[in-house]
């Protein structure tokens, strides 16, 4: 996982396979799961779960042991805060008033300085 002191932490985007996998693994911290078990618990395909877990492992967000993946107990709190932060940001965006800034592409409507 990236260094906790790193100023550019890994961004977990809502409604992605990474988000769903971490959303399953974080509450089950320390427990090990195969990609098939993760797929069954997250409604991902087994192929997507395998690819996602490889990505999360390579990005140092999860650990791997003999074909299973897990979130280490000592890292779970940090990941939990990230997921909660992402959820809070998504809710703010969903609940934003219907104004120019709440519409996708609003920045294209603004004249250049």
Give the structural domain span for 32: 15-95
Q: What is the CATH number of the domain that holds 83?
A: 1.10.10.10
pLDDT band at 5 (very low <50, low <70, confident <90, very high): very low
Q: Backbone dihedral region of 60: left (phi > 0), alpha (psi from -120 to 50 degrees) or beta?
A: left
Residue 110 lies in a domain: no
Q: What are phi and psi of 54, to 5 degrees?
A: -60, -45
pLDDT surpasses 70 at 73? yes
Q: What's the pTM value of the predicted model, to 2 decimals?
A: 0.68
Residue 91 lies in a domain: yes
Neighbours of 62 (CB within 10 A): 27
Q: Report, as an integer, the average pLDDT of 39-66.
A: 94
pLDDT surpasses 90 at 57? yes
Domain count for the chain = 1
The predicted structure's pLDDT at residue 33: 98
> For the chain, what is the mean pLDDT?
78
Q: What are phi and psi of 109, to 5 degrees?
A: -85, -15
- 8-state DSSP, 12: -
The predicted structure's pLDDT at residue 49: 97
Integer Cα distance of 17 and 32 in angstroms: 18
- Percent share of the chain, pLDDT over 90: 41
Q: Report, as an integer, the average pLDDT of 91-110.
A: 60
């Amino acid at each position: 996982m990236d260094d906790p002191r790193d100023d550019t932490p890994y961004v977990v985007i809502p409604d992605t396979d990474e988000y769903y996998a971490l959303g399953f693994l974080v509450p089950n911290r320390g427990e090990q799961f195969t990609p098939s078990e993760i797929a069954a618990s997250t409604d991902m395909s087994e192929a997507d779960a395998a690819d996602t877990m490889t990505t999360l492992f390579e990005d140092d967000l999860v650990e791997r042991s003999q074909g299973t993946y897990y979130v280490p107990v000592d890292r779970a709190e940090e990941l939990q805060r990230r997921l909660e932060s992402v959820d809070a940001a998504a809710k703010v965006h969903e609940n934003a008033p219907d104004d120019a800034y709440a519409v996708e592409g609003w920045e294209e409507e603004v004249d250049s300085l």
